[in-house]
Amino acid sequence: MAKEFLDYLLAIREQNVPYAVATVIDVVGSTSAKTGSKALIDQHGNVVTGWVGGGCAESTACHAAQRSMESGETEIIDIDLDDEVLGVGMPCGGHMRVYIEPSIPKPTVWIMGHGEVAEYICQLSDLMGFAVVVNDSMAQRDKFPQATWLITDDIDYGELNPLPGDFVVIATQHKGDHESMTRALQSDAQYIALIASRKRSRLVMDYLRRKNFSEDDIKRVMAPCGIDIGARTPAEIALSVISEIVLVRRQASGVRMRDTLHREVPSPRAAADATGSG
């Protein structure tokens, strides 16, 4: 892979945004790109650098790359350049296969606070494939070895800048929870959780109302947060919260798997076995 291509690839990786690499894996007949040709395609479907052919092939590859970035799945596309491509009425000649490999950044779990619950949330977040940022003046690296980034000098929470696909968990044990919540609600984070008692949660919600946050804003806050699993210990509380995070990420129902069996349509053979016929 050429150094220039690698430089662009490293640069776009640093931006923490989706991208895809299109690689020509087979060609037949007259094609401008050869086997091994690559193109780096950004989240908007534009070629950043590289080459997989002229307008006919490039446009098809870019559309496929956007589709692949949305699904998160790799894809192999066949481009028949002997046909009228995209309705231009002008065959380009040849045939090629292109492998599309998307790269989707890990969503980040932002943990505000320290203590056992925060430590377990950090561990579980890492296990679930999230990047982890811990923001607390008393957080220590040996307590949060899985954290991608440890912030200990952010008094005004100015470093709390979650992206739209990120998750924020405020576990400050009441210290500064209302202030960090104010900052979190100013972001586009898809999930904002407050680990607190019902009484403390109500106090924080009332504080946000006095700060002129709308009811729609306040509804974004999961307080109390987590899935009801009867959690009592710090580890169980962390499991409850990370379960809700995974539920939101995967857009799941939270229904017990056993209770979903009625949705499955049995095969004719299975139905016959169940009735004893056949």
Q: What is the pLDDT of residues 18-52, one digit of tens each?
A: 999 999 999 887 777 889 999 999 999 999 999 88
As a whole number of angstroms, the distance between CA 31 and CA 142 comes to 56
Q: What is the pLDDT of residues 233-248, one digit of tens each?
A: 999 999 999 999 999 9
Q: What is the pLDDT of residue 94?
A: 78
Query: What is the pTM (predicted TM-score) of this model?
Result: 0.74
Q: Which domains does the chain have, with CATH numbers?
A: 3-103 (no CATH), 108-250 (3.40.50.720)
Q: What is the pLDDT of residue 268?
A: 62
Closest CA to 178 of 133, 223, 244, 122: 223
User: Measured between alpha carbons, how far is residue 151 from residues 84, 134, 136, 225 in Å?
Assistant: 56, 6, 6, 24
Q: Which residues of the chain have pLDDT under 70?
A: 1, 82-93, 263-278
Q: What is the pLDDT of residue 171?
A: 92
Q: What is the pLDDT of residue 125?
A: 97
